Amino acid sequence: TSMGTTSAMGTTTSMGTISEFGPDRIIIRSEGAADPIRYSSSKTTTYVDESGKAVSVESVKSGVPVTVYYTKTGDGMVADKVIVRKVTTTQQ
């Protein structure tokens, strides 16, 4: 049984806000999920903005809304691509 995420052969997506980010891990709080979701990242993980342009890893940090494209491998989930979404809060 699936837990609400659909997957066409391989890649699945998940939306949320980054709660922790490191060289080999991305932890996001997903909309509608009680627990944070942990992904591993690798040298092949790409980080882009909503228009598909590459963004620096430095712009990926706690509190940033993202969409993670990931592949399930054994017990873990490996992030293939992370889309950094625009923060919709207005800063003054």
pLDDT at residue 6 tops 80? no
What would the mean pLDDT of 24-46 be, rounded to a whole number? Answer: 91
Return the pLDDT at 87: 73
Return the pLDDT at 9: 54
Q: Are strands 46-49 and 65-73 parallel, antiparallel or unpaired?
A: unpaired
What would the mean pLDDT of 78-91 be, rounded to a whole number? Answer: 82
Other CB atoms closer than 10 Å to residue 51's CB: what's the count?
Answer: 6
Question: Using the 8-state DSSP alphabet, how is residue 87 labeled?
Answer: P
* 10 band by pLDDT with thresholds 50, 70 and 90: low
pLDDT at residue 34 tops 90? no
